[in-house]
Amino acid sequence: MNRTRNNPLADDLIRPLLHTSVWFYGAVLVLATIVLCGAAAWAYQVWYGIGVAGINWPVFWGFYLTNFVFWIGISHAGTLISAILRLVNARWRRPVTRCAEVITVFALMIGATFPIIHLGKPWLFFWLAPYPSAREIWPNFRSPLVWDFFAINTYLTGSLLFLILPMIPDFAVIRDRSSGLRRRIYGTLALGWQGTTTQWHRLEAAMQIMAVAIIPVAVSVHTIVSFDFSMAHVPMWHSTIFGPYFVAGAIFSGIAALIIAMAALRRTLRLHAYLHPLHFDNLAKLLLLMSLLWGYFVFSERLTVWYGNQPSEMAVFWATQRGEYASLYWTMVFCNFIIPVGILSFRRLRTLPGIVLVSCGVLVGMWLERFLIIVPGLANKPLSYSWGTYSPQPTEIVIMVATFAAMALLYMLFSKVVPIISIWEMKVGNQPHPALPADEEEEQQGLWRARP
């Protein structure tokens, strides 16, 4: 292994896989303990029944569904942003894409567990799958929950493949630079990749097609999640704006999560040479744009409800504006609009700590937004005899905290086995461009096609 190397970038990006600090083990231990507490809480709920959660008539959707929508929203950080940047060939995307795509896969996996937790009887989950029961009854394809099943599984499959395919060349690099068991493991993962011109062309073509396919799928996923609400006659749910409103909110929270993950990676894995302030600045501008868009949607939704002045909707409206949910509502507005616009609009304030602070606020705000969409509507249904309240119970809180720990844990473990920045994509970004006259370039492009 003492031969001359022509690939210092790979050395640098593989380094975190080969060297592990004691802090890493400590963090893994703490996070794994929290995740185990969450698993224990879920086991407790399964054993004693869904009654241990705070969901009760009339508020049957509480923390679990809030977290479901929240995590599915976070998943929009990765594949969607990565696919868009890949299609527009943004050069600054190269260190960002894998960090982002990983968020999608793990957030989707975590988000998808919440409806199962919410079922109370998780072993009946397969009833959603397109599989006939003993009486030959298939799932009801008119149900939004079945749409969720198809949308989430398509997005998860697509995102997983979108993440894994560009990892294959990097696995080959690790395979060739390691020995023993590690070489065998990465050799298996590399699938015999050699880096022939055919393999590169097919990989890039596949990534291009998947980028095109994954964008409408990502949009459809959160639109369909919004349909879970807008298809129901619950005050302030039955809205045509919910599809784009949810998608915008998902991208908004996704970018915030991506910024936090990138900042954490930059600091812990010392990736300052790859994750530049420029990357954070560009993402911050996107975050600002999404904040303004989010504000526009909230205003449109609120104005329409207020102008319509229907008693059932106004009950929810005032409960959130100045009633029992007002503190949460205004915290949401503060975190999602006032702080981002107030800080990110000014270049002097758009520093790395400032951007991370805003992103943390956006995550809080977007979680509150999901909660405020779900709970006040259910607690203030059209007839006042069905009004109620919701108080989250310790089981729900522990499970929710555990999912945040699970996200951090999975991300940390992933960054220990896979270069979190794509080696080959970074190298492509650093390639010098040979100076060729335009006519010669055109001629060379067609040369291979013309040859027999």
Partner 1 sequence: MNAVYALYDNPAAVQRAVDGLRAAGVADADIQIMSSEPFEEYEFGHKDSASWIHWIAGLGGITGLTAAYLLTSLTQQAWPLRTSGMPIVAPWPNLIVIFEMTMLGAILATVLTLFVSAKLPRRLPPLYDTEVSDGYILVGVQRTSGQPLGDVTAALEAVGEGRVKHVGR
- Which residues between 103 and 162 bind partner 1 (CB under 8 A)? 130, 132, 136-138, 140-143, 146-147, 150-151, 153-154, 157-158, 161
Cα–Cα distance between 174 and 4 in angstroms, integer? 16
Position among 87, 129, 209, 232 found at the interface with partner 1 (CB under 8 A): 209
Strands (E), 256-366: none
Position among 7, 20, 327, 391 found at the interface with partner 1 (CB under 8 A): 7
Position among 184, 202, 272, 322 found at the interface with partner 1 (CB under 8 A): 202
Shortest Å, Cβ 446 to partner 1: 9
Q: How many CB atoms lie within 10 A of CB 451?
A: 6
Q: Which of residues 219-238 bind partner 1 (CB under 8 A)?
A: 220, 224, 227
| 192 lies in the site for partner 1, by CB under 8 A | yes
| 165 lies in the site for partner 1, by CB under 8 A | yes
Backbone angles phi, psi at 346, to 5 degrees: -110, 125
Backbone angles phi, psi at 59, to 5 degrees: -95, 85
Nearest partner of 106 among 406, 436, 448, 319, judged by Cα: 406
Position among 182, 238, 285, 427 found at the interface with partner 1 (CB under 8 A): 427
Shortest Å, Cβ 189 to partner 1: 10
Cα–Cα distance between 383 and 172 in angstroms, integer? 63
Q: Give one word for 140, left, alpha or beta, with left for phi > 0 and alpha for psi -120 to 50.
A: beta
C-alpha Rg value of the chain to the nearest Å: 24
Cα–Cα distance between 441 and 201 in angstroms, integer? 18
Q: Which of residues 16-55 bind partner 1 (CB under 8 A)?
A: none
Shortest Å, Cβ 21 to partner 1: 26
Shortest Å, Cβ 114 to partner 1: 20
Counting every residue, how long is the chain? 452
Position among 175, 266, 279, 370 found at the interface with partner 1 (CB under 8 A): 175
Q: Look at the block and give the residue holding tokens 């996107």.
A: 286
Cα–Cα distance between 84 and 47 in angstroms, integer? 45
Position among 58, 120, 187, 277 found at the interface with partner 1 (CB under 8 A): 187
Which of 300-308, 316-324, 340-348, 424-432 is the region at the interface with partner 1 (rule: CB under 8 A)?
424-432
Query: What is the maximum alpha-carbon separation in the chain?
Result: 80
Tokens of 91: 């050069």
Shortest Å, Cβ 329 to partner 1: 31
Position among 26, 49, 195, 394 found at the interface with partner 1 (CB under 8 A): 195
Q: Which of residues 376-415 bind partner 1 (CB under 8 A)?
A: none
Q: Look at the block and give the residue holding tokens 């990989």.
A: 203
Shortest Å, Cβ 11 to partner 1: 9
Backbone angles phi, psi at 130, to 5 degrees: -70, 80
Shortest Å, Cβ 147 to partner 1: 5
Which of 3-11, 36-44, 270-278, 376-384 is the region at the interface with partner 1 (rule: CB under 8 A)?
3-11
Position among 2, 89, 196, 309 found at the interface with partner 1 (CB under 8 A): 196
Size of the site for partner 1 (CB under 8 A): 72
Q: Which of residues 297-316 bind partner 1 (CB under 8 A)?
A: none
Position among 89, 194, 240, 309 found at the interface with partner 1 (CB under 8 A): 194
Residue 178, strand partner residues? none
| 205 lies in the site for partner 1, by CB under 8 A | yes
Tokens of 357: 């602070």
Which CB atom, from 203 or from 328, has the smaller least distance to partner 1? 203
How distant, in Å, are the alpha carbons of 256, 285, 328 from that of 259? 5, 12, 24
Q: Which residues of 183-208 are buried (b: 16+ CB within 10 A; e: fewer)?
A: eeebbebbeebeeeeebeeebeeebe
Do residues 405 and 397 touch, judged by C-beta distance below 8 A?
no
Which of 213-221, 310-318, 320-328, 410-418 is the region at the interface with partner 1 (rule: CB under 8 A)?
213-221
**Quick one: CA torsion of 55, 60, 63, 69, rounded to 10 degrees?**
170
Q: Is 56 helix (H, G, I), strand (E, B) or coil?
A: strand
Position among 2, 240, 309, 445 found at the interface with partner 1 (CB under 8 A): 445
Which CB atom, from 132 or from 353, has the smaller least distance to partner 1? 132
Which CB atom, from 214 or from 407, has the smaller least distance to partner 1? 214
Position among 83, 117, 172, 372 found at the interface with partner 1 (CB under 8 A): 172
Position among 28, 37, 199, 360 found at the interface with partner 1 (CB under 8 A): 199
| 204 lies in the site for partner 1, by CB under 8 A | yes
Q: How many CB atoms lie within 10 A of CB 260?
A: 18
Shortest Å, Cβ 191 to partner 1: 4
Q: How many CB atoms lie within 10 A of CB 23?
A: 9
